Structure formats: C-alpha cells, structure tokens
Amino acid sequence: MFIIIDDREMVTSGYSSGFTREGVPSIGFRAPEFIDWVASAAETDIGAVEAFLLGTCDERESVPKLIRDRCSAPVIALNEKPSLEQTLGLFAVGVDDVVRQPIHVREIIARVGAIQRRASVSDDSTLVSNMRVFFDGRDPELNGTPLILPRRERRILEYMVKNQNRRLTKEQIFDFVYGFCNDEVEVSVVESHISKLRKKLRGRLGFDPIDSKRYIGYMLVNK
C-alpha cells in the first residue's frame, strides 16, 4: 500500500492510476486529510503501508515527523524543480529519498525496495526451507526452479516471508494486497488466494508451509 500526499488531486490520482497498473494498492490524501488520518489510523492500517510519497503541500516539512511517530515505512519526497537547498531541507526533516518529477511508479517501487533492503541489512531475497522468495517482482524459486504465481498470490507470499514468526490476520493480508480503502472486494477473498497458494507450495515442497488458526490468522512455517 502506497500513500500519496499532495494537495493537488491531479497528482494523487495520476500516481494512484500508475500504481494500479503495477498491481500495487494506493490512496491519495490532501495534507490536512492525511494529518487527521495518520493521527488516528488503526495499527493494522499503518502496518499495511509500504511507503509514503510526499508531494506539494503547505505542511511538507512537518509531515515526515508525523509519519515517523507512527511508522517506519520509507518516505519519498517528490520535487518538481532541482533545488539543493530544498533537497537538503527535506532530508533534514526525515525523508528517506528525494526524487525529481516526473518519475515512473516502477522506479519509485524499486527505490522503496532498495531502502527497505538497506534498513534490514538483507539481500533482495530470503530463503525459506527450499524456497527462495524475491522482493523485486520475480516469482519464487523452489529448489532452483521458478514457481509462476499470480501477482496477488506472490505478494501474499512476500508479505508472509517479511513477517516470519508472526501470525497475520486475514484483514492485515487484505490491507497489504488490496489496500485498506478498498470497498469493492470482500476480505474473504484472502482465504481463496491462500488456499490456492498453499496447494501450489505443498505440491512442490512436500509439506504445507502455511499454518492457519481460525480467528487468529496465518503464519509461514520454515522447515
């Protein structure tokens, strides 16, 4: 889930459309709306955010601290004109990267992935049992052979790998894959995605790597 903060609806809707084409959920806020949201958002909603894009708004310098008080997700600032003073000022108030507009959403996604990898001091993949899971859009590999997965099943697997040894609720997984503001899809769709995913993994691994407990959630098992 990517959150775009900009007082211009044309900007937020433009980036949201781009993320949608890449299969990544997003939502746009004007700065005053975002400030109200981030102060009161549920932990599950905050936890589903992969990154924040900070565009043009009067509260540009105060927003990064509000985010940091609730979340450690990367903050990417969007600049329309090259300005060393402005760039240094944005880094000083806590953003993780400053990019020049226009920029393709695929580059933004790649930059966020790089920031997250540096933060976790890890590679762009994780080995779980005989399965290597990537975080750059590639399908997982089982015993060195790619397992082709639909986009949403792949994102669910990536999310579970990033949260190993932690049980995830159906609602948390839904928020990550579809976005917490999606009213067009029922949360129950997660059950169908996970059922298909675990069947494919079980067939290749020889055991069920996803442990599920009713009313509690799902957790990846590393054998």
Where do the domains of the chain lie?
2-120, 125-220
Per-residue pLDDT tens over the stretch 170-195: 999 998 898 877 778 899 999 999 99
Name, in order, each residue with C-beta under 8 angstroms of 88's C-beta and a sequence gap of 6 or more.
none
pLDDT range class, residue 7, cuts 50, 70, 90: very high
Per-residue pLDDT tens over the stretch 34-79: 999 999 998 888 988 999 999 999 999 999 999 999 999 999 999 9
Token digits for 21?
């084409």
| pLDDT higher than 60, residue 123 | no
Average of per-residue pLDDT values in the chain: 90
Q: Which residue, 120, 117, 141, is CA-closest to 129?
A: 141
Residue range 79-83: mean pLDDT, rounded: 87
Instruction: Give CATH for domain 2-120.
Output: 3.40.50.2300
- Grouping H, G, I as helix, E, B as strand and the rest as coil, residue 168 is strand
Q: DSSP alpha helices (H): ranges in 145-188?
A: 151-162, 170-178
Instruction: Give CATH for domain 125-220.
Output: 1.10.10.10
d(CA 23, CA 45): 18
E strands, the chain, in order:
2-5, 26-29, 51-54, 75-79, 97-100, 125-128, 131-134, 141-142, 145-146, 210-213, 217-220
| pLDDT higher than 50, residue 164 | yes
pTM, two decimal places: 0.73
Q: Which residue, 176, 200, 202, is CA-closest to 190?
A: 176
